[in-house]
Structure 1
């Protein structure tokens, strides 16, 4: 008898970590120390405005410059704030397999629901070594794994055939996709049950339309309700409205992610301008200047006024 999974695919895969996830910034005090009170307040606001999941300690969360202790403290503080119904995924990826395993175990102890594992950067391992790295991390803890495919930062693509093989592991359940390879992404979607999350805000609707589970959005730091509404409209069958909302967000997406400053810098600048918890960035990043912050605020105001 033919297995239905071999001939047809359900319209929407499981959502192991929710649908509308924000790649949350890590708030710091003006002195540069971890601002746990600010993190609690920001997390609560993001959830209240439409996020059903948060990604902590990721690229936008400045994970390269936070300590292992700070990472664990952030998870615990946010978990205590948002409760058990909001998914918390935490970045544990490093250039060192052993360190990544240690962070995964610490994340499990701190209360995370899953781990985000980026390809080891700088060393650029070949695909067999990359596959072994992810499998070792997946075996290390009981937490489900979201792979993070962002070759523009790591220098190494998680090739579609590698993703297809990794999908056989019971704890490798999702992908944050910043590959900019839409064909490759569709190949994996068609052949696995991996839950894909758009990691680039300009791809939120496009990826969702071909079967993604949702998004991990940087722009959601400042407009969580708008991001959620794009997906709400699509789920309701109003694809024209979903497209309209995605296009309306395009100027802010460009200003925050494609206009020369890293998304961490623009997110914190705009959050600060709106009076929300953020604080400065840590070196080697530099906070946005006044002119850049004012420009971001103007684009934001245009979107929310529309």
Structure 2
């Protein structure tokens, strides 16, 4: 098991599909190696929302982790997200991820919590069971404040005190609560890493004393996100604003006014394909690819950021 530098950029990786919408194993391995070799990358994360996890079967999720881990062995560690509905299923998939080569696990809230909510003890038991079953470091995946799966600041502090928990992927998306959450975790255990996952407002979330970034957008612009994090750490606001100025048109073209989910992943894959990062922009239904107008916006944003391939 490799140690993970959480004070870094960690891309939640996209998964290339072939023309039959099967996992393109060779392309996934090639893309993973390329991404792992970019400056400032501390780990790769499989099976996140950017990886279209809800379109993958449990066996496919383990296979994505296995392909990625084998491809980047000796380059960087691999994290796998776990998205399940109950403890028994979560433990089973967590063990599959570990066997496939995962060095840590990102734990999403069970999705029935989104509708019905949960008690704090449900959450603590869920994380404890996965940690005990695998012995792997855990990342708490924090959902937006407006959802019923949102964790209170008090619960985040309790999670920070769990020995298995090493980091927090914070997607609060409500800046007052975001600040309270960061303060609560720091007070409970300052050794736990705080990672922004606010793809759509990176600079605004980075300047609040975070340690790194765990974002799907780093599948597309790893270098720019690394440069932005370095500028923030150096206290160079002018440079950070300049870099964010390159990112913003791409952010607008991919995410629009919304969050990084659904068709946004199709738009990002289209941008990755146009930039020469992956061969195909194919997405699995019901996710759809971008419209002609969206493709034009993506093209313009890539040109603005200097990310279009140079013609031979």
Q: TM-score, length-normalised on structure 1?
A: 0.87
Query: Which residue does the alignment assign to 1:143?
Result: 136
Tell me how far apart the structure 1 counterparts of residues 57 and 159 of structure 2 sit (CA, whole Å): 29
Structure 2 equivalent of residue 234 of structure 1: 232
Match 2:16 to one of 14, 27, 46? 27
Do the aligned residues in 2 keep the contact of 1:119 with 1:154 (CA within 8 Å)? no
Query: In the comparison of the two structures, how many residue pairs are matched?
Result: 293
Structure 1 segments, 4+ long, off by >6 Å, are none
CA distance in 2: counterparts of 1:153 and 1:90, whole angstroms? 25
> Cα 1:15–1:232, aligned 2, differ >3 Å: closer, same or farther?
farther
The CA deviation at 1:282 is: 1.2
The correspondence for 1:38, drawn from 27, 31, 39, is 27
Mean CA deviation greater in 225-234 or 198-207: 198-207
Q: CA deviation at 1:152?
A: 6.6
Match of 1:288 in 2: 290
The residue aligned with 1:166 is: 159
Distance in structure 1 (CA, Å) of the matches to 2:281 and 2:307: 26
> SS of the counterpart of 1:175?
strand
Secondary structure at the aligned position of 1:184 is classed as helix
Q: 8 Å contact 1:145–1:172 — kept in the other structure?
A: yes
- Pairwise CA RMSD: 2.3
Paired position in structure 2 for 1:7? none
Select which of 37, 47, 52 maps to 1:57.
Answer: 47
Work out which of the residue numbers 58, 67, 88 in structure 2 matches 1:77.
67
> Which TM-score applies when normalising by structure 2?
0.86
SS class of match (2:15)? coil
Secondary structure class of the residue paired with 1:151: coil
Deviates more, 1:159-168 or 1:133-142: 133-142
Per the alignment, residue 264 of structure 1 pairs with 265
* Gap change, CA 1:117 and 1:278, over 3 Å in 2: farther
- 1:3 corresponds in structure 2 to none
Give unmatched runs, 5+ long, in structure 2: none
Q: 1:36-65: CA deviations, max 9, x gaps?
A: 111111112222333332111101101111
